Amino acid sequence: MGNYQEQFRPQFHFSPKKKWMNDPNGLVYNDGVYHLFYQYYPEDIVWGPMHWGHAISKDLITWKHKSIALYPDELGDIFSGSVVLDVTNSSGLGSIEKPPLVAIFTYHLMQGENAGRIDYQTQGIAFSLDNGDTWKKYDGNPVIGNTDIKDFRDPKVFWHDESNQWILSLVAGNHAKFYRSDNLKNWTHLSDFGKEVGAHGGVWECPDLFKLKVEDTNEEKWVLLISINPGAPNGGSGTQYFVGNFDGERFIAEHDDIKWVDVGTDNYAGITYNNTPNDKRIFIGWMSNWYYGQKTPTKDWRGAMTLPRELSLIKEDNHYFLLSNVIDSFNNQLSNVIEEESINLDSPFKLKYQNFNQTEIKFRINLSNQIHLKFKNEKEEFLIFEMNPLKKEMSLDRRKSGLVKFENRFADNVHTLSYIASDKEVDIRIMLDWSSIELFIDNGKYVMTEQIFPTEFYNSLQIASIDVISIKNFKLNTIKSIWDR
């Protein structure tokens, strides 16, 4: 058993104890427990016949590993999907006293694919009557068969109050499909979305449809997340979103531009929790990219999740933006090391610290200012973040950040994010773990998540600017490890 101190092991992000993990699945809260199921291959550290791994948490911060929830069977391997709490026992799989958790997932029949067929993905369900500890497959599977659609997967289900029915979204190659049901077993196709809108550089995956209130208004909007691979702004896998309306039958987007949840290279297949207390919309993504995800230089395990993020929606100049912010309670994991009310950048600010790879760095700056941040170790491995108002571009450069040669596309480019360089004071928040960086700027309006593999911890930080400025409220905080050792 690992002690979670192996080289590159995330210290405050979820990762499996051993072996391969990709997408988060079945995110659901029930009876005091946040469940995290995930795409899991227990035999190797590369992708293989998929199972659903399982972990639980009371706070979304520290996790307990559980045994595998769903194993492949004669209908196929278990691809991505979701879990709902069937409170009224509409499915009849439990009882009113013991409402079942129902998992809705994709069966992927490898023999079918290998035989050159195209109808090898179908949707199945399974249920649990002991809050996720043990699962039984429904004996009438599949609940949605395949007619002739090659990529037909990743069902996300929720209860739609307004129309009093279960709604299921799934993807079918270049678009999303919506279905309805009264009992989670019989599904009727309602509508399609997306053939002509959004990014189409690759296949659509992992849809998620939910409602959000627009901050500081009484307006409500529907948001549809769609992962796409390849075709993301900085290469490979990424997640776009649409804002619009859903009437119980049809989703209509209200914009033509393409919007991304996160412009970094390593936040994919993210979905949100069902059934959370206070209706919070909490998102977790797989912190990797199919371009190189199977080749990253970890040894006994591979894969980690992003920090759980609360999503919110704002409207600025008639445009909607989805904001991602680390859940508030994560602040309890922080201890302050250095705090400076103001740092003058007439000359570069230099800070030494033994290990930046388990810290949060935070400060305020005007969006119209230029800034250059560099984390470095004694081996001259470094990671650069820059904000350039002239180019209207932020950038993250991991080309020399540590081990990068395991796959060309990991570090062939500086990764960029376009922004509006207005005269506005904003916060910059950086969460650095042993093998990742998460950047949140302007209250989570601009987000970049990326993996890094420094062979020693970064131990110096330099902040410089060509403008005559000072940064405000600078903080360096350490982050507690989430693993019991």
23 is catalytic: yes
Using the minimum distance from each CB to ligand FRU, give the nearer residue, 144 or 206. Answer: 206
Amino acid letter at 305? Answer: M
Three-class SS state of 113: helix
Contact between 437 and ligand FRU by CB under 6 A: the answer reads: no
Question: Is residue 50 involved in binding ligand FRU (CB under 6 A)?
Answer: yes
Structural element, H or E, at residue 110: helix 110-114
Q: Is 262 in the site for ligand FRU (CB under 6 A)?
A: no
Q: Where are the alpha helices (DSSP H) in 56-119?
A: 110-114
Q: For residue 375, what are its two tokens?
A: 């984390």
Q: Are 239 and 264 in contact (CB under 8 A)?
A: no
Q: Of residues 85, 143, 269, 361, which one binds ligand FRU by CB under 6 A?
A: 269
Per-residue contact flags (x/-) with ligand FRU for residues 26 to 45, judged by CB under 6 A:
-------------x------
- For residue 440 the two structure tokens come to 């949140």
Residues in contact with ligand FRU, total (CB under 6 A)?
12
60 CB contacts (<8 Å, ≥6 apart)?
Answer: 34, 282, 308, 327, 329
DSSP per-residue codes, 405-424: TTSGGGSSS-EEEE----S-
Of 80-109, binders to ligand FRU (CB under 6 A) are: 80, 106
Is 79 a binding residue for ligand FRU by CB under 6 A? The answer is yes
d(CA 156, CA 140): 19
x/- map, 385-404, ligand FRU, by CB under 6 A: --------------------
Q: Which of 23, 154, 208, 433 is the catalytic position?
A: 23
**What CA–CA distance (Å, rounded) separates 191 from 180?**
10
Instruction: Verify binding: residue 205, ligand FRU, rule CB under 6 A.
Output: yes
Does 169 engage in binding with ligand FRU (CB under 6 A)?
Answer: no
| Tokens encoding 247 | 């009437």
Alpha-carbon gap, residue 437 to 432, rounded angstroms: 5
- Does position 8 interact with ligand FRU (CB under 6 A)? The reply is no
Min. distance of Cβ 228 from ligand FRU in angstroms? Answer: 10
Give the nearer residue to ligand FRU in terms of CB position, either 205 or 208.
Answer: 205
Query: How near is the Cβ of 142 to ligand FRU at its closest, in Å?
Result: 15
Based on CB atoms, which residue is closest to ligand FRU, 106 or 275?
A: 106
Q: Are 225 and 270 in contact (CB under 8 A)?
A: yes
Please confirm whether the linkage preceding 233 is cis (ω < 30° from 0).
no
Nearer to ligand FRU, 154 or 381 (CB): 154
Give min distance, CB of 303 to ligand FRU, in A. Answer: 11
Question: What one-character-per-residue DSSP string does 294-317 give?
Answer: TT-S-SSEE--BPPPEEEEEEEET
22 touches ligand FRU by CB under 6 A: yes
The nearer residue to ligand FRU, 144 or 351, going by C-beta atoms, is 144
Q: Which two tokens stand for residue 263?
A: 């412009």
The binding site for ligand FRU (CB under 6 A) comprises: 22-23, 39, 50, 79-80, 106, 153-154, 205-206, 269
Catalogue the active-site residues.
23
